[in-house]
Amino acid sequence: MSQSKPTAVSRSITAQTLGWLGEAPQAYIFLTLYIALTALGAFLNQRSLPIFLLFEASLLLIFYARIPAKPKAIFCGIVLLVLLPVLGLRNAYYLEVATQVGIYVALALGLNIVVGFAGLLDLGYVAFYAVGAYVWAIFGSSHANEFSAPGNLVVAAIGLLAAAPGATLAYRGIRRVAGEDRLPRPWGALLPWAVTIVAAVVLYRLAWLILGPGLGSVGRFPLPAGWFFPFLLIAVGAAVLSGILLGTPVLRLRGDYLAIVTLGFGEVIRVLSKNLDKPINITNGSQGITPISRPPLLPEALMAPLRSFFSAIAGRPLLNADLYGFYFFLLALAIAGVAILVARRLDHSYIGRAWTAIREDEQAAIAMGVPLVRMKLMAFAAGASFAGAMGMIFAAKQTFVNPDSFTFMESIGVLAMVILGGMGSIPGAVLGATIVTVLNLQVLTELSLQLSALRQSGGLMPLLGIPWTQFPNQLEPAKYQRMVFGIVLIAMMIFRTEGLLPAVRRRLEIQEALHGDADAAGQPVKEA
Amino acid sequence: MTGSLPRKLRELFLPLGQIILFVVASAAVMSAIVLALAFLLRGSRADSDLLVGVFALLPQTLIDGITLGFLYALIALGYTMVYGVLEFINFAHSEIYMVGAFAGAELALTLQSLGLLLVIPPLGYVVLAVLVGMIVSGALAVTVERIAYRPLRNAPRLVPLISAVGVSFFLQDAVRLFESFHRNAFYLTFPVIPAFDRRIIFGAIPTATGGMIDVGISVKVIIFIVAAILILIGLNYLVNATKLGMSIRAVAQDRPTAGLMGINVNRVIALTFLIGGSLGGAAGVLAGIKAGTIDPFFGFIPGIKAFTAAVLGGIGNLTGAVLGGITLGLLEAFVASYLTLFTRGALPGADYAAITAFLILIGILIFKPSGLLGEQVGHAGRRA
């Protein structure tokens, strides 16, 4: 877990800090002090962005600290599960930002599998996110009532078809993470069976709900909120299915062609979601679908004490609606955590090695017996599954989806996160997602606010002497996300192709390609 | 390429004849297909005669398709030339095109504010605007190549592509930023030139609802098509009959060997970007004049479609880019007008036309990745 060798750039920037973080007792004291001070600062001064950013940076310091994994996890847990929610209950926007970070972390990790691990550039990644979002949007709202009986059958058939890969994935995933060898004797063998039976019962129940006694009658939808979690499986399955559908025909293509085709696929999904309000109204066109039901909170008996507890923290009475912010934060955090776990395990499995082989030399990989098509499809499917799950959370969080949420810019935004952190690097993807999201949601927004405040104050610009009121009001930093993404992509490609927190192997590959010298990669590289 | 004068003339005008022949032939084929379809489905409509309806839409559809086709052809040439030389998809080319349109609009608005716009002859204005667009876009393309692509020339394939995506996004917002400061609005509208908005009417044909509809073509469209053809002739001359063209083709065939033969490879690559970029700029100005209003994001979709056209014709192949562009333009125009008619508005054609382009792209890449005419630059076979 600990970063063994900080690279030259980060060393020069953070030499002093890393020195403090270098040894165990010192590092504990420093981290505790830092976290306590920034958290206290953010708690006392809730509108100050710099202090909150410093607080957020504590996670990075924890990552860099050279301490064993367990204390690291404890520090992370305190920051993410105790301090951040407390701050977030006081200032709901912080929690919103943290939730968005969680969502984008999972998306970046998913894209990282496709782009970083397998080396397939996917410019239409947001399509899978859209698939996941629309799956829940349609059935989690009253929209599905619009289907006539035959339409319903078709939709249900597609849904159940989508559930199959989802169930398979869950089954295999659970087997892999908590397989036979990891659990005590009888349970290890029983677990897969239990999963299969539970999945079968859930699917049967769902099919009954959609197709059962009230077939064609009005008012059966939205599905009861409790179906949110089983539906996660279906959303994942639908995304995986669309990943495979896209992947099958295009996998023979060269890398750059693949990029353009995935871009086209992303646009096709967006245009379809905009136009499939006729002949059958599936997506309700550009108006989008609302309201979408949210997952259930706990039963009221448990909820009441929790609410009063959180109200005490927040310093004001909280309604269930306020608590949903916290709830979705936990949900996004949980899925992001699962995503990190899955990505790490995939990376270190034979699948991950096969992806590396394909990425480095496709011909050699084929010659060594790597099943090319299966592995590429698996990369697409795995990447898509993260996006599908997060899409569903997004739909439930916003209670509204429309095609505008799934533009090409979103795909590039996620790509920028992966590139910034470093292709193929899991900590990199997390860092990239956090930096870009915080930049977009907090820094740029803050700049916009400051600018409009200046505009209203009527003062003069420093140096120029022009009144701020003449400053063009078109110029809202918050609207210049494209420029941010563009600069990130160009600058990273030119100056630091391997990313901020590079994966070691990837760095060697890129240096080898750029300088044509495999052995010199570890040593200082001479510029040509 | 020192040939006799008749040979040079043939070099110049033979491709032109081929293109015009191709336009006429593909337009005729597509018209025949829709008419046949309408004839077969004639009995299915009680309220209106499908055949008459199809026929009434045909002239406008053809004009739209050919205009769109030449637009895609002009943009696609930029993609295909760069691809031929570097095997690299210049993703930012759609923004080079957009910047050209903005340069033309800025010129027009400046002329207007100086009161010169209606004084100079309209054709002079078009030529001036196109030239300005070409210069600005060409210079921008060279700059982008120098800054964002050249340092990455030996990197893995995806690295310059990602950089190009970044350039594309950067340029969109850079133009928006510039125009926000400059004019406090990022939408620009070309000033109206009365002479251009005239329509030349040839006659009238009956519509399905019993009325009559004019058959005509607006002056803007004529200017667009004529300018596009002139530019294509110029490019053909440049690539096939000059020393510069020969060095471009040499670099495209084999870069290291061309370097050994004393060709300055970096210069040739920069020139390729210059030519491709200025073609894109010219297309941008012409499209801007035709459309009227432009915004910093209006290059993206035509860019992707033009790339599709380049792939359709065989990427790296100049004639292929033109043919691919025209085919795609006609197909899109036909889908846009007839899908709505044939499905009774259930599927809005204008929206599904965009999907058509992508489906064609996916289909071509899967079944015939080398495109209609194969991958090559100019007249020279590139790959063994």
DSSP alpha helix (H) spans, A112-254: 126-139, 149-177, 185-211, 228-250
Any long-range contacts for A55-60 (C-beta under 8 Å, 24+ apart)?
A: A55/A83, A55/A87, A56/A434, A56/A438, A58/A31, A58/A34, A59/A434, A60/A431
For chain A, give the mean pLDDT.
79
CA–CA distance, A493 with A497 (Å, rounded to integer): 4
Cis peptide before A291 (omega within 30 of 0): yes
CA–CA distance, B276 with B96 (Å, rounded to integer): 9
Closest-CA residue in chain A for B355? A268
For the segment A302-354, what is each residue's pLDDT rounded down to a tens digit? Answer: 777 777 777 777 777 777 777 788 888 888 999 899 999 889 888 888 889 99
Give the 3-state secondary structure of A99-114: HHHHHHHHHHHHHHHH
Residue B170 confidence (pLDDT) above 90: yes
- Please give, rounded to a whole number of angstroms, the shortest distance from the CA of A121 to a CA of chain B: 7
For the segment A419-465, what is each residue's pLDDT rounded down to a tens digit? Answer: 998 888 999 999 999 999 988 888 888 888 888 888 777 777 776 66
- Please give, rounded to a whole number of angstroms, the shortest distance from the CA of A261 to a CA of chain B: 6
Residue B285 confidence (pLDDT) above 90: yes
Give A519's pLDDT tier (boundaries 50, 70, 90).
very low
Report the largest interatomic distance among the alpha carbons of chain A, rounded to a whole angstrom: 79
Choose the mutation target among A258, A489, A492, A507 for the interface with B, i.e. most B CBs under 10 Å: A489
CA–CA distance, A137 with A283 (Å, rounded to integer): 9
- Please give, rounded to a whole number of angstroms, the shortest distance from the CA of A55 to a CA of chain B: 30
pLDDT number for residue A179: 53
The reply to whether residue B361 touches residue A480, judged by beta carbons under 8 angstroms, is: no
The reply to whether residue A415 touches residue B165, judged by beta carbons under 8 angstroms, is: yes
For the segment B72-100, what is each residue's pLDDT rounded down to a tens digit? Answer: 999 999 999 998 888 888 999 999 999 99
Find the CB nearest B181 among A412, A472, A516. A472
Burial of B200 (0-12, 13-18, 19+ CB in 10 A): exposed
- β-strand pairing of B212-218 with B199-206: antiparallel
A216/A27: higher pLDDT: A27
Find the CB nearest B170 among A121, A252, A486. A486
B183 Cβ contact list (under 8 Å, min separation 6): B109
User: What are the structure tokens assigned to A247, written together?
Assistant: 């992947």
Find the CB nearest B180 among A278, A475, A489. A475
A164 Cβ contact list (under 8 Å, min separation 6): A237
Give A15's pLDDT tier (boundaries 50, 70, 90).
low
* ipTM of the complex, rounded to two decimals: 0.87
CA–CA distance, A130 with A270 (Å, rounded to integer): 8
For the segment B326-360, what is each residue's pLDDT rounded down to a tens digit? Answer: 999 999 999 888 888 887 777 777 778 878 888 88
Residues of B in contact with A477 (CB under 8 A): none
Find the CB nearest A493 among B152, B184, B352. B152
A358 Cβ contact list (under 8 Å, min separation 6): A118, A119, A365, A370, A372, A375, A376
pLDDT number for residue B326: 92
Identify the H or E element spanning B214. Answer: strand B212-218
Give A138's pLDDT tier (boundaries 50, 70, 90).
confident
Give strand pairing partners of B200: B217
- Give the mean model confidence (pLDDT) for residues A74-99: 83
Residues of B in contact with A278 (CB under 8 A): 346-347
**A333 φ/ψ sector (left φ>0, alpha ψ -120 to 50, else beta):** alpha
Percentage of the residues of chain B whose pLDDT score is greater than 70: 95
φ, ψ of residue B153 to 5 degrees: the values are: -65, -30
Identify the H or E element spanning A123. Answer: none
For chain B, give the mean pLDDT.
85
Give B286's pLDDT tier (boundaries 50, 70, 90).
very high
Please name which of A395, A409, A428 lies closest in space to residue A500, comparing C-alpha atoms: A428
- Note whether A129 and A368 are within 8 A (CB): no
